[in-house]
Structure 1
Amino acid sequence: MADKPSNTKFFSQIVDLLQSARNNIVRTINQTMVQTYFEVGKMIVEEEQKGKDRAEYGKSLLQDLSKTLTREFGKGFSVTNIQQMRNFYLTYQKQQTVSVKSEKTIQQTASVEFKLSWSHYLKLMRIDDENERKFYEIEAVKNNWSVRELERQYDSALYTRLILSRDKNKVKELSEKGLVITKPKDAVKDPYILEFLGLPEHSAYSENQLESGLIDKLEHFLLELGNGFTFVARQKRISFDDKHFWIDLVFYNRILRCFVLIDLKIGELKHQDLGQMQMYVNYYDREIRLEDENKTIGMVLCQNKSESVVEYTLPENNEHIFASRYKTVLPSKEELKLLIKQSE
């Protein structure tokens, strides 16, 4: 008897369709819940403003509302939770869009569009600086960050690293558009935070162990590298004149449309390290890069570096070779500012 035709592909398509539908339902429920909490917060603030003694009236209002909602809907409506809804409205009311209606110029606020989960916004509300908060919100949406990843990026002071190491005129752009990559320097951070490797800051480990750790935690490393990076190769061999060289890590950036070569160095950066990276970049540009691709970027990640060594080793018009430090533990914001100040 002939074998029955396999329906595996067909079944998989049905599974994917149903899974997509479930994900959309969950997303819609989350957005509806967040929007509802915003409206609840708005109603509470407007009701409080009617009270003669706003402080006492507001406290009593939240307590009574908590009892009513708990009796009606069960858990989830403690005074603390309701207070968070109120704070949510106060934090995000400025983002409401204002439209003008009729000749009487009646202003009416439209609903804010919330694209993240309530857990995301609970984290974001704890960020006092409005520009910093907007940046993380934009990046969380663009990169589909989980709450854990949002916390990790905030704890690693991504925003602080960017504003302290970039042109001050572009700081405002971060809060309006997030991280926009238009040239090689935009894709480079200094320092890189590699706390996910679990390596103590001053422990003895080899470059090979560092490289293996990054490969084992590749998903984390790609998130730290930033937008548009895809992994290409490890220990990529290039050969000429009967000599062989190995590039530690090779990536491709889809936004910049170019290869990104990374060499890992333990300890202090040497001028030979930069010269070697320049050779790698030249090889890729002349032998590997396609005509419609942009020039290769080279990055040397090191524990320490002298800015003078970098400055005098690389040409004045350099735009494609970079040296960045890495940290294997999360530095405090004060330590981070000191690190970056040393590079200025």
Structure 2
Amino acid sequence: MNTELVRMYWQIGKLILARQEDEGWGTKVVARLAADLKAAFPGQRGFSRRNLMYMQKMARTWPEPIVQQRVAQLPWGHVTVLMDKLDTRSELDFYATEAIRNGWSRALLDRFIRQELHLTQGSAATNFEVTVPDGSAVLKELARDPYRLDFLGLDKHHAEHELEEAIVANMVRFLTELGVGFAFVGRQYPVLIGGEEYRIDLLFYHLKLHRYFVFELKTKDVRPEHVGKLNFYVSVVDRMVRDPQRDDSTIGFLIGAHHNRAAVQLALDASNNPLAVANYSTLSSADRELVPTEADLTRVVQQAIDDIGQLP
């Protein structure tokens, strides 16, 4: 039923475009059609001038038959969010595909658009191409950089235990950030090796990929030695937790405040286990706009130097 509704709206949009082409762009085709439809179908909703403008925009954006497009599988409210927030066809198709695959609500779709998921998804430093070549594309999609954790409500001076506690307290939101399929296994997950206990920050299991995921958290700069520690924990889970008859190899994610990508990539390339390193941000989108960028700071410093040079 939803697909048929979207197809009908697309057909109306095509009609509007054809009328405008025939009668000239200056005519008030949409306003006249809205009035005609309201008179013909007084009890029917969805034919307002605003909605007709959306139909026109949809027909222009997807000129090929709409039933062949992923967007036709979305509710109309989702389609209007896409057209309100995005401009390029590639971005529209990306978010339509992700919304269908992950079952996003309209609010989640809007949130991920605002977070610019298309720029962060798959952008983390990894060694997946070498360690899991058959599944590297799927796993790389899970590795975002940065992870937007503004919903945790942390200030910029938070400690690692505060970050961990906030994630656990907001686990549903965090699982949404990670993507569909993740299940929470434990926090400070204990493993006993040679009589000594080690604890993993966060342990997850992916129900679709049948893999354990080790998450280590750092509130400071990620160093190459931290990658070595993550590699160790992944090996531990592989040998002591994973069921080799059921589970594929364990994946390690290291999420920190900052990292030197070149140094971290060298550490990843030296590891035999599949690992990823990404940054996280606890600032809201509004706060991020208030924080000066490196370019902003450089410009201010240069202006100050220029001003000093002009002094008598």
Give the TM-score of the pair, scaled to structure 2. 0.78
The one of 161, 169, 173 equivalent to 1:208 is 161
Displacement of 1:44: 1.8
**Once the 2 structures are TM-superposed, how far is the Cα of residue 77 of structure 1 from its aligned partner?**
3.5
Deviation of residue 268 (structure 1)?
1.4
Note the alpha carbon deviations across 1:31-68, whole angstroms, 9 max, x for none: 443232222212222223322xx1122x2x22222222
Q: Residue type of the partner of 2:259?
A: K
Structure 2 residue identity aligned to 1:305: H
Equivalent residue for 1:160?
119
> Is 1:122–2:76 an aligned residue pair?
no
Please name the residue that 1:4 is paired with: none
Q: What amino acid is aligned across from residue 148 of structure 1 in structure 2?
A: A
1:138 CA displacement: 0.8
2:60 is the counterpart of 1:86:
no
Shift in CA distance, 32/216, structure 1 to aligned 2, threshold 3 Å: farther
> 1:255-277, CA deviations, whole angstroms, 9 ceiling, x for partnerless residues?
43211000111111234422222
**What is aligned with 1:50?**
22
What does residue 24 of structure 1 align with?
A: none
Which of 258, 262, 270 is the aligned partner of 2:215?
262
- Are 2:125 and 2:278, in contact at CA under 8 Å, matched by a contact in 1? no
> Cα offset for 1:166?
8.8
Answer whether contact 2:70 2:96 (CA < 8 A) is retained. Answer: no
Mapped contact 2:124–2:276 kept (Cα < 8 A)? no
**Cα 1:73–1:274 shift into 2, 3 Å:** same
Number of the residue aligned with 1:174: none
What's the counterpart of residue 240 of structure 2?
287
Q: For the Cα contact (< 8 Å) 1:236–1:248, is it kept in 2?
A: yes
Going from structure 1 to structure 2, the CA distance change for 1:308 and 1:123 (only over 3 Å counts) comes to same
Q: CA deviation at 1:89?
A: 1.5
Shift of 1:124: 1.3
Length, aligned pairs only: 278
Looking at structure 1, the residues matched to 53 and 139 of structure 2 have their Cα atoms a distance apart, in angstroms, of 45
Report if aligned partners of 2:203, 2:215 keep a CA contact under 8 Å in 1: yes
Q: What is the distance in 1 between the residues matched to 2:204 and 2:18?
A: 53
Q: How does 1:70-85 map to 2 (within 5 A)?
A: 70-71=38-39, 72-73=41-42, 76-85=46-55
- Aligned partner letter, 1:62: V
SS in 1 for 2:19: helix
Q: What's the CA shift for 1:240?
A: 1.8
Is 1:323 aligned to residue 277 of structure 2? yes
1:315 positional shift = 4.5
Q: Confirm or deny: 8 A CA contact 1:184 1:256 kept in the other structure.
A: no
Which residue number in structure 1 is paired with residue 129 of structure 2? none
Q: Which residue of 2 aligns with 1:37?
A: 9
Assess, with a 3 A threshold, how the Cα gap between structure 1 residues 281 and 142 changes in structure 2: closer, same or farther: same
- When the two chains are superposed, the root-mean-square deviation of aligned CA atoms in Å is 3.0
Structure 1: gaps (5+ residues): 1-27, 98-109, 168-179, 339-344
Alignment partner, residue 91 of structure 2: 132
Query: Within 5 Å, which residues of 2 pair with 1:4-43?
Result: 28=1, 30-43=2-15
Q: Which of 123, 126, 146 is the aligned partner of 2:105?
A: 146
How far apart, CA to CA, are the structure 1 residues paired with 2:102 and 2:143?
Answer: 17
| Alignment equivalent of 1:190, drawn from 134, 145, 156 | 145
Aligned to 1:299: 253
Residue aligning to 1:62: 30
Q: Answer yes or no: is the 8 Å Cα contact 1:156–1:330 preserved in 2.
A: no
Q: Which residue of 1 aligns with 2:172?
A: 219
User: Match of 2:280, as an amino acid?
Assistant: Y
- In 2, distance between residues paired with 1:247 and 1:90? 51
TM-score with structure 1 setting the length: 0.71
The CA distance in 2 between the partners of 1:56 and 1:253, in whole Å, is: 55
